[in-house]
Every structure is written in structure tokens, then in C-alpha cells.
Structure 1
């Protein structure tokens, strides 16, 4: 008798989604149905309810006509192309000057007409007529309440209702954080299209990164925004529960480290991946990440960008020299006093540190080719970087000179004297007494006063001696005899200080006179008085 056994089919667990897929934002489309409509179709949609009320008391229809006329005057086949061609998307905070100039040229100088033009932008964004970039939405100073209200009324009522309900039921979410969360969701819908259910984790990361770049810091409630969308089941089941987990995502594989930079030449990409695998056992993850940045981004991606089609490590002399010249500078974005952001070039401080991994890459290939010729011999090439180019001795000396403080005749600890210029570094400040008075004060300093030795210009003051246990107890005779034996040419000196006052390193006669042999100087009248002795 044969018995057939049925086994339950256990559903296989979903494999974890790669980190690169989770953090990838939706691409910005160039064409979609709404932006390709004619002017008559757009007017029929936006001039009627629900975008325009039946009673037009604020001139919204007039402003909509001005907006369509302005976009029609721009070159392009779609409304999105005309919007980009106008230059308003690139201006950000100053974009209003472009349509204002167009209206003044056509005689629309009345303030209410100009205001109706900008009021008509909200219905155009809500109707998906144009899709501005995220930087424009962040810096354009739109009325957040009007934009969120229109999107919640006309595009995604269910999504915004669930979002507000979730924020209202969470006791840790205040009113300001709930408003900011709704406005961030509206910004993503305007820039990417669709509804709240279409948002992916990459869209959230892209918006938050652009906010931090433009504002200079995180605006706030960033983790709350991601957590609320995750609790609404907007993301996939395999998306992490917190924003921090999404940003970290664990350690990337060598393939993911190299693929971040989009190398076009597949053989070179595979070579860099194999090289990272060989180096991986001897490196920690941060070092491996930095190595992929130096080789894939700063080295090969730069060569492919300036020399398309390159596929060999054997670089001609002019190509290697041009790459090293580009590597010497880096691009920085700075903000001007009027709020504009400009791009400038600055010298790269770690230029030689960027050359060292590339030279090691070439030398490792040559060394490994001896042991495994079939795998590495085909990539052996002359190294374009000489040993003298990675010598950092002179570079460290120059870097140290940049951090050397300017010479100043001032106590570096009590700051009682103002610094003087480099040319007058050996000239004492005007608050110092005459030389005769300074020498007399050195011989017999007044009770309860410090006296200071002038530090040599451009050199750090000498180290301080250990503090005397008690101000009334003199130093031991053995110590004085020892110093006298070591420095027979130095006259015996004493130090007088007030009770409870800790002598500075440059306020001690043993420090300044005994160790350096320089003359002492009296304290300045600007020097703060010593502290009062502690009772008991």
C-alpha cells in the first residue's frame, strides 16, 4: 500500500533588496501627458472648477492667462521645455525677476496683475503642467499652505488625509513638524509627479540631501518624515524602518563601491573590482571605501570624462600630465553676501595623498603579474606617477607653515597685551613700561604682581615649570643648586606671585630668565589682577 504524503509549501523569504536600489530616486521625466497638452486644453482644465472657483474675485483667471502667455513666448514643444528654457528653474530664490521683467516690457506694471500671475503658479503645479526641480521648490519661497491644500484637494485627497491622521495620532509630532512633513511630501509630488503612494525611499533621501546642501544644515523632522511614510506602508516591505538604517545600509561590496561612479569601460571596471577584492582582506572598510574613491572617481572616471573611449592603463605623457594638473584643484561652491551660490576652484590640499593609491595600483599589478601572469600581466603598464611626486616632506613643511601663528608680543595665555603686526613683532606694545623700569622690576618685583618676559617673535614660548605647592614656600635649595650647576652663567632669580594665583608659563623668572637667558619685563597695566586667596 502506497501512502502519498503532501508537504506544505513554505513561501521563500524575499531576498533583501540591494542598497543601491533602495537609495536610487525616481528619474525626472521630460515628457508626460499633461505637459504635452495644447493651450486650449490647459485653459479648459485650469480655468474651470475645481482649479478656478466660479466667482473669480482675485483675478486668478487673468493671472493664469499671463502665465500661459509667458510660457508660450519661451522656446520649446512642451510646457516643461518652455519652463526650463525660461531660466527660472535655475535662478531659485531670484526666479521672480524673470517674469516680472517680461510683464514690465508688456505694460503689466500694476501690482495686482503681477500678484495674480504668481498666484496662478500653484494651480499649474497642482495640475502637473510643469515639474520644477527640487532645488527650485526649496528656495523659491512658495506658499506652502496653498500648495499642500491644492494637492490635497485635487490630486491625492486620500494620501494627504492618511498623512494628517497619522501625524495627529502620534503624540510625539507637534503642529510644526506635521506641517513640514506634509509640505515635503507635496514637494516630491510636484517634482516627480504621481501621488504619495508612489514615493520611494530614494526620493526622500534626495530631498533631504538637497535641503541640507542648500540650507547648510538639516532643517528638522527628517527622521519623522521617513518614519511617517514608512508607517503608512508607502514603501516596499524590504525598506528599512528608520532613516538612519537606510543611510548606512551596511557595508557595500567591491562591485557596489565601483559601480557608484558609473565607469563606462567594462574591462577596467572589472579590473578595479578584482583589485579591491585582493586588497579587501588587509584593509578596513573605510580604507577600502577611500581606495575605491581614489581609483574609480578621481582617477579613471576623470580620464573617461575628458578622454571618451579610453580603455588602457598605458597613458600617454600628455594625458597623464593633464590629469595630474586637473587633480591639483578642486571645485568648491560658496555663497556670496547677496545669497547667490558661485562655483570656484581651490588648490587641493591632499593632492599627493591622491597620487599615492594610483601609484600603488600600478606597482601592485606589476608585482602580482609575476606570481599570476594569466590574470594580471595583460594590465601591466608604466606607472604615470614617479616616486618624487609622492614625496610629502616638502608638502608637510608647507602645510605646517600655513598653521604657524603670526608673531605677537603678547602673553599667549592671559592675552593681556594686543598683538602687533609681523613687521613690528620685535617692538614692545605701547603699554610696556620703559626699559629702565622693566629691569628694576625684574630685580625687585612688587608684591602680589607678575612679571613677564618678552616672547621671541615667531617662536612659541618655553614650557612652564611645575607649580610651586605653596606661594609662601620657596623652591628647594637642591633644585636651585642643580640649576645653578647646569647654568653657571645665569644669575639667581626669584619669582613673586600673589597667593592663589597660578603663574603663567611666561610669567616665571625661572622659565624666562634661567632657561632662555633673556631679559625680563614688567607686567602691563592691562594684565588682570591676581585672584584673591581662598579662605582657609
Structure 2
């Protein structure tokens, strides 16, 4: 070739025979954009083995073995065994319940029934109570219905609202004309009418009525097994008696005011009611409603978690940065969804690839439509990355560099398996080895600082890690030195240590103040005799008993020369 081209030196020929990287990538992308040819193997090979070890025939799953490109970057498989599902918002939007198509009517449709029929129905429902209580219910219901019949309106609900009983400041007891007996009867009858779904009250009307024993009458008249099951579960739930009563009371109140049954409860209704009534006990009822199947299984386990905005989907996280190029945005979404196996990795990839990489590239060159970045754009991006948005220098740029360094080789690897999806995005990586030259040293120093700042697990670890604080005079005991003389002597209090016997610095300890038994005297003031007492005390202290309520730090007991 050199002779034909008449080149004087072989290096001149190499200029014409070496394929440029851009040309190679263009030809490679053009090749993969074409129709894929099926692999043909000799009949002597087993078909299952070829399918298992072939990249083109089985390009997904565990058969895609990762290729190590350097000591820092690992090309990931085209389809990992486990991929992160799209995040779902754990926050439940508080919303009032919609008007049900079929409102609960436990005793049937009562809109067209007469007063006598309703009174007879009330008498049948309260047949197990005393005669006087049943008579009060019948008389109160009859007077209430006759009083509403005198008002204008087509239905009893319209007449109830026409009287003004749905507004705050009005109560059903105002219709008793000051008679305490009829006040009690009308209040009891109004509670029964609410439980029978004969009248749909507002929250102000229900609160002003304050019907007696309403939490017992409502489940009995609702003809629904769910309230009874809820009450049984709540009795076994670890909650106080006050919290249990509050949960039952507010549950009956919410179902009455909203005009729904317990089976019609949606996740947004308890949150909406709990926001309007803090401390109402709905938090205790939430896990029970979830276990009973009233709330769907995907809702959080607690009401507190339902109020907190949880994990977002990959699309929502990427769209926060408002990327202009829709195709690159879709590429990043697909790549991050495949690469992230946990939410922490997902959040880091979105931050490094979207905000720290492509968002800056679009600000530098808004017309950038692919991943082939020119040298000027790469240098401008690296310079912009060194400075944060607030103008301060960025201390750690290894995260964005490593994410981009893995992004490009992953696309190259996946393009071999799925060229129609990833082939057009194959390009040379803008991160060079020189950009990560001292990365391993920075990582090692970071790990050393983290290890140095890690607190010891116990006192023995501190003692082993601090050889410079060994006790003086070669004695093997803990850094607490105390001398005590005979009681009543001039030096009965702890004496000041001499410079040669100065105790070392006290190790860091979080806990109760140590109480020491020092010298030959116990806590009762009795003197211990013999050296065995001191040795026994040291053994007790070493086992964490005897007198020091701290980790096992033995105490040296120095006897006075006169003792």
C-alpha cells in the first residue's frame, strides 16, 4: 500500500488507513439500524446451548454477562434481573367522598312512607329496650315528623333544612318550647332519624344534636357487618380506651355526615376528615380499615405515611428539570428506569444525569440533539460543573463524572443486544481517564475520615484504640483513680493527684453518671479488709456490676499507707 500510494514514510500511510472514531460510530449505527439477520449455527451445536450463550438470540436476562471496561466502570447488562418499578406517591390526596349513586338505606326507602309506618318501624327496631325508652322513641319520632310536615318542602330533608336545623347555632332541642322532657325525646328521635338515614344532617347539626348513645344505635340500625367487625378489631388493637372511643365516635360521625357506608370509604376520605379534625382518632382506625380490606392494599400502613409525599416515578423526577429535547428526555427515563434497583440509586442518577449533565449541556448548546458532544461543549460543561448554582465551588464532582462515564458504555453494550432502541445513541464518552485520575485516593481518604469519626462500640474498643492513655506506673486498670483514707481523718475526701499520677482524659461516654465504690469502704460505710476484697471488687466492676453502672471499666483502688 505504501508503494502504490508512493508514501515516503509508513506513518503517512497510517493517516489514510486508520478509521476515525466518528466514522466508525456512524457505520456502526447504520449497521444496527438495518434489519437484523438471524444467527445461523451448524447442526452439530445444540440449540439450547446456542440460545443460552448467544447475545443476539437471547439479549436479555442473565445471559447478558457484564463486561468490565475499566477498574471504575462496569457495563451493566441489557436487562437486569431486577429493575426498579415506577414509584408511586404514598401521599393520599384528601378529598370529600363523592355523592354515592345508591345511598345506604338500611331500612329501605323511607321517602314515601307515612308517619305511622315510620313510628311502627322504630318500635320494632327498639323492641329489646325498656317500655319507657321505647315509648320515648315513638313519641319523639312522631312529634319530629309532624313538626317537619308543617314546613314547606317536597321531602323531609328539604323541610329539615327549611327549619334551619342544618345551620350552626340551631338544635333540634329548640323545637321543644323549653320543655325538658320533649327536649330529651326530640334529641333521641333525631339521632334515630340520622342512623336510619331518614335525614342527612350536616356536621354542625350532628354536633348540635348530640344524640345519646349514637355510637351504639348507628351500627345497630345500619344493618352492616363491617362496623361490628371494625369494633371487634379495635378492641384488640393496642390503643387506649379514650382513643378507642374517639375512633368509634368519629367513624360514626363521618359516615353519617358524608352519607356513605363503611364499604364506600375511599382513601382520601379519612385523610380529609383527619385534617379537619386533628386528634380525632382516625390514625388508630387507619391500619384496621386497611387490614379489613376497606382501604386498598396499596395505601400506606399508617395515616402519618399517607400524609407524607412519598416516592415519585422516574418520569416525575426527570420532568422536574424541564429538559427541552424530548427524545433525550425519553432516553434518560428508559435508562434510569432500567439501571436503578433502589430509590436511592434512582435519585442519584436523576440528579447526576439530568441536572448535572444534560441540563447544563442544553444551556450551553440548546440545539444539541444527540450524545455526541464536541470538545468545546465538553470543556464548557466541565467548567460549569465546577461551580454550583449559588456561585460556590463544587467540592465533589466524582458523582456526575462516574454517572456519565457509566452512561455511555452502558449504551454501547445495550446497543449490541437492542440496536433498534439504543444504537442511535452510541457515542464516545466525554469523561477521560485523566478526569478520574485521583478518584481512588479521594475515596480512600473519605473512607479513612469516616472510620476515624466512627464512635467506638463500647469502652473496650476505646481502650484498645487509645494506647496513649494507658494508666501510669504500668498498672493495668481503667482511667479512674481514687484514693480515700480512713473516715474522720484529715484527708477523707479524694486527694488531688500528683503530676506523676495524673489520671488520663476520660473517654467519651453517653449514659448515666458512674457511681464508684472506691477504697476499702463500701456504700454502707463498712470497711473491707484484705486484698481479696479489692480484687473481688475489681472483678465485679469488670463484669459491669458491683458499683459502676457503666461499661466494664475496672477501678484501681489505692490504699493509704496508714491503713
Which structure's relative contact order is higher, taking Cα pairs within 8 Å and 6+ residues apart? 2
* Same fold by TM-score greater than 0.5: no
Q: TM-score, normalised by structure 1?
A: 0.38
Which one has a bigger Cα radius of gyration? 2
